[in-house]
Every structure is written in C-alpha cells, then in structure tokens.
Structure 1
Amino acid sequence: MKKDLCFPLPELQVSFALQLKEFRNLWLQDALLETIGKLEISTVDAELSEFVPKADLKTLASRGLRGELVFAVPSVLQANPRLLGYYRLLLGYSQKEFYGTGFGIASLKSMETSGKINSKSPVSIMKLCGALCNAASHLVQNLESTNLTLDLLDDLALLTVGPQMRGGVNNKLGQKGIKDVFAIIQEILSHAIINHTNEAIEIRNASGRDVWVEFAADPDIVIREELSEKNSRKILAIEVKSGTDVSNIHNRIGEAEKSHQKAKQEGYRECWTVVNVSKLDIAKAKTESPTTNTFYSLKSLLTRKGSEYEDFKQNIISMVGIASS
C-alpha cells in the first residue's frame, strides 16, 4: 500500500518570518536608512573621511552606495545605538563571538540589545568605530566592485541573522517543551495538589508529606519530597530536549547527561530524559547518557494516551506516593 508523502509543518519558517520584521526594524538595512534620514549628512561625511580610506569610499560611490552602509561612524551609532547590531551582522559576527571575551566589547552589548550606550564602558565609540571600519575595509577590498549593491549588503546581514534566529527559536521551543512536560505532570497530579504557582506545584502524598514539582535551571524539572524543614528526599530529575533536529539529538543527549550527573551528585535517585525526535536509537542514547534511567518521547506524552504516556503517568504517581485519580 502506497503511503502519501508527509513533511513536518514549517513552523520554524513561520517563526522566522514573524521575527524578520522585527529584525528589519531594529538591526537591518531598513533601520539604518531610517536613522540616516534624520542626520546631518555633512556630519556623517566628515566622519567617513576620518575613519574610512578614500579608495573604499570611492569604490562604494562608484556603485551609488553611501559609506555608512558599510562603515560605522560615531554620529550614526550615537543616534541609534542598536545599529551596532547592523554592522555586526553585515560583517558576519555572531553575538556570542562579538560580545564574548575575545573581542573585548562585552560592555557595549547593551547598544544592540536595548539601544543604550554604556557610559562606563572602557571602549569608546570612537575606538569601536575605528575597529569596525578596519574590518569593513577588508570586506570592501575583497569583493568585486560590480557585486556591491544594496541587495548584496542586505543578503550578507541576513546570512548572519539566520543562525541567530534559529538559535532564538530553538531556545523558545526548548522552553515550551519544558512547560509542556510540567503541564502534563500537573494534570497527572491534579487531584492531590494543595498549592501551586507558575514555578512549582505542591501535593500531599499518602504519607502526609509535601511533595514539590519545580522548574529548575539545571536539570529542567525536579521532584522532591520534604522530610523536614531542612531536609528533602530528591526523587526525580527530568531533562527536556525539545529540538526536532535528528542530526543534533546526540549532542543534546550529551548535554542531558551532564545535567543528570549534576543531579545525581545532588542526591536525585532517578533521572529521565524527554526528547522530541521521531526516531531515537535507544541503545545508542543509553551509551551517550548512561545516567538516564528512562527516555520518553515528548510527542507521545503530548497525546495523553498510549503505552508510553501511561508508563510516564504511573511512574510519576508511584514516585510521589499518591493514589491514582
């Protein structure tokens, strides 16, 4: 029997499209052109003459391009500090690389992220522009002048935006996956809940003790039973890896293993890993995360039915020590 082709829904691209509008308004060519339209061009031209080799400006002018489309100058960044992001993207630097320890400008990250210049930064705007212009000069000198167009400059920035947007979307997907698993646990334990907040739920088990299910930084979700005011029995640590990229799942499982090793050192008895890929080689996954006692599929848990969900449900109920609803 023939099976119809069925591809996953392009949710990532939908998210990209929605984010791209924000990027254009804040950090891409649209934002730069809007800012330039509000400045005294004579001031910008004077600064370009100071910071940029004449040959580079001549190359751009031959293609009908103004210098500030490639070269950062103080008046532009002071008028709109977020445009530091435009020049970073144009030159192909990731946020992690650009604001990491290697470049020495971590104190200026607020320019891109919040539009504010850090007055206490040891790096002056003049020094920053000098370094950016040196890098941009290499770009101009190593491109065919006939290729220099507004579209090419926009494309170069977009090439850097792509991985950044993917990373942002993956982080959002990761947080959503954690919240989904937490919500499933909350539903399973709903009949025994005596208190809850956005970050934790409290239940009373059959022994009369309080059990807490909590969001945690590392691992993602923990369950512990209070034995006294200062002592608790650490029951379960859960890592949720919501990414759907099969090619990256083994790296993610390696990350889960590090979290579980930390959880074990803190006294957690059981460690679970929830993944979100269609197929997982369990034997290989167990070698990559030997601390994981059980692997669960996020997709299976979200159905709220089936053998895998029932196994998850019954294990949760048993571990916290309550009767089934």
Structure 2
Amino acid sequence: MKPSGQIDFYVRLQAVRGRYLSEALKTTVDDPAFTLETLNGELSAYVDAQHLKHLASYGLRGEVCFPVPYLFRRNPYLLGYYRLLYGFSCKEFYDQGPFKRFQGMENCGSIQPRLEPLIPALCRSLTKTGETLVELIGTVSLPIVNDLQLLTLGYQFWGSRNVKVGQSAINSFVSLMKVLLAAYSLDVQERQITFLNDSNLPVTIRIASDPDVSITLKLESEERKLVAIEMKGGTDRSNIWERIGAAEKSHSKAKAKGFNERWTITRVDLNSDPGMLRKAREQSATSTRFFFLDHIADPTTPEAMSFRQVLGSVMGVKLAP
C-alpha cells in the first residue's frame, strides 16, 4: 500500500505551518514594528483577567489563545490560527453564521475597509469561544495548542481530500458521457452539457450537488426530471456504507423533487457480490440502481451494456457502444 493520503497531508501541512500555526503568531509578534504595549492593552480590554492569569500560570501569554484587533491588523492571516485552535473547519466557520465576510482575512491576508469597524466585535466573539476552550481543557501549553490546531487541520484536510476524490469520479463520469454522446452535437459548458435527443428535445446533464449529477428533459410546458445520480468516488470498502448513507439523504431529496430514476455510482463493486448489493439496497432504499464506475467505463462488461441501454432509453438517444 502507498501512504498517498499521508504524504499529501504532510505537504499541505508544511504549506500552512508558517501562515496559520504557532510560527505565524511568533513571526507577527517578533516584527520590530510590533508594539507590545498595544497588544497588552487590548488583551486587558478584551479578555477576562482570570483567563489571562490562568494562561500565565502555565507560562503563556494571552495572545496564544485569544485574538485582539491589533493582532489581526498586523496579520489578518491569524484568523486561521484561532479558527484552527477553536476546532472549526472552514466550512463550519465560514458557511454558517456571520463569519463568511471575514474569510478574506484568512485566505488573502487582508481586511477590507468596510470590515474594519467590525473587527472589535469579531474579536469579542472569538475571545468568548477561547475562554470556553481554556476553561474546559484546563491544562494549557504550546504543544497542546499545536495539537488542537493539528486535529482541526487533519479533519479539514481529510474533508477536502474526500471532495477531491468525489470530484475525480464526477470528472471521469462527465468524460464518459462525452464519449457516449459523441454522435450528438454537444453544448459543453463548465457545469453542464446540453444536446438534442432523437426526438429533437433538449436534454441537459448538470453537475451540482444534491444530486451530484442530474439529467433533465425540456418540454414546452415543463422540465422532466429524468435521472438523479450520486457519485461516490472513494475506493475504501471499509466506509462504503457511510457513503451509501450520504447518497440516500441526497436521493430522498431528489425523490421529493420528482426524479423517478435515482442512481448511485461508486468506485466499490457492489453488483458482483449479492450480499454487498443487498446491504446497499438496505442502506439506500431510495436508490433505484447501483453502478460500479470502473465497469460502466469498460464497454466490454455486462454492467456497461446495461448502463448504456437504460440511460439511452431514459434520455431518448442511442449511446455509443
């Protein structure tokens, strides 16, 4: 086995270490232009004295766990330092609540002028989170702070790796569709493919989420929802049922929207093992069909022929063999 995931994580860790971890805070404070008096004054104003005293009892300064406006103005990237320390992934922190507007601080290292007046309120909110963390973990040290940040990074890296794996499967499927529809005049855009079927009606294949892929047919009076497809690109059999469960949630929504065909395409072969297929149907009763991506991409397999026949009949086209 090749530890490709761990190698990828290590490379990415080295890339962010100097921007979001302890080295970033040290570099910011070590800057000759950095004024310690300003930092101390803001820490006293923003953080409860008991929490500062608690950190001091372990030989730590307040900025190790608590942000203040002066720190962010000197180095906006430090928002990532505190987000990681408090245990929030990018999605959790920026996609929910009021923090989306501040994402440019972590990503670009800048504060937009319109956000300047909001920085004090941001810091007050984050220091409350930091105070809760310090209270609950009790013992605090630089290694513990680093460990907490790495735990968040690992979760974040794993999530982004899963997204990358899923996107790779979707890209493979889109490439397959282009080959199968080569006889038709395709209008290919970034996230969709449109063409006229054999009845001269427009069919659209869209790449999105919930479902990952949708296929619709445009009529004069309505848009017919033909197929909803969930792509699960992971090859690890040990957590296939978790991925099938995620597909079931999406298919339940697709069913409510009016999709009668709801397919789950995986990188784990479910159809060759009756027991696996039976369990897959139990885990995702809303899925109407299961396909193995590697098989449907190989035109010599019975599964590929079945896929082409069913999909071709649904879309009203003759797919390439």
Sort the TM-score into its range (normalised by shorter chain).
0.7 to 0.9
Distance in 1 (CA, whole Å) between partners of 2:146 and 2:12 is 16
1:216 maps to 2:214: no
Secondary structure at the residue paired with 1:233?
Answer: strand
Structure 1 segments unaligned to the other structure (5+ residues): 1-6
Number of residues paired by the alignment? 307
State, as a whole percentage, how many aligned pairs show the same letter. 35
Distance in 2 (CA, whole Å) between partners of 1:68 and 1:122 is 16
Distance 1:212 1:90, change over 3 A: closer
1:277-288 equivalent positions in 2, closer than 5 A: 277=268, 281-288=276-283
- The one-letter amino acid of 2:190's match is N
1:83 maps to 2:78: yes
CA contact (8 A) 1:74 1:129 kept: no
1:128 maps to 2:121: no
So what's the TM-score if we normalise by structure 2? 0.80
Structure 2 segments unaligned to the other structure (5+ residues): none
Aligned with residue 159 of structure 1, among 126, 151, 156: 151
Q: Deviations over 1:130-164 (max 9, x none)?
A: 42552354378x22x7xx3x444323311221111
Question: How far did residue 219 of structure 1 move?
Answer: 1.3
Question: How far did residue 283 of structure 1 move?
Answer: 0.5
Distance in 2 (CA, whole Å) between partners of 1:49 and 1:324 is 70
So what's the TM-score if we normalise by structure 1? 0.79
Aligned with residue 251 of structure 2, among 247, 257, 260: 260
Distance in 1 (CA, whole Å) between partners of 2:247 and 2:54 is 49
Secondary structure at the residue paired with 2:183?
Answer: helix
Question: How far did residue 302 of structure 1 move?
Answer: 4.7
1:59-138 equivalent positions in 2, closer than 5 A: 59-61=57-59, 66-95=61-90, 106=99, 109-110=102-103, 111-115=105-109, 116=111, 118-119=115-116, 121=118, 124-125=121-122, 127-128=124-125, 130-132=127-129, 134-135=131-132, 137-138=134-135
Distance 1:93 1:210, change over 3 A: closer
Secondary structure at the residue paired with 1:191?
Answer: coil
- The one-letter amino acid of 1:131's match is K
CA contact (8 A) 2:21 2:149 kept: yes
Secondary structure at the residue paired with 1:234?
Answer: strand
1:171 aligns with 163
2:181 aligns with 189
Secondary structure at the residue paired with 1:81?
Answer: coil
Distance 1:317 1:45, change over 3 A: same
Q: Deviations over 1:99-151 (max 9, x none)?
A: 687xx7646653445543735759714523642552354378x22x7xx3x44
Question: How far did residue 282 of structure 1 move?
Answer: 1.0
CA contact (8 A) 1:72 1:132 kept: no
Question: How far did residue 259 of structure 1 move?
Answer: 2.5
CA contact (8 A) 1:225 1:235 kept: yes
Moved more, 120-129 or 177-186: 120-129
Distance in 1 (CA, whole Å) between partners of 2:267 and 2:308 is 18
Distance 1:219 1:40, change over 3 A: same
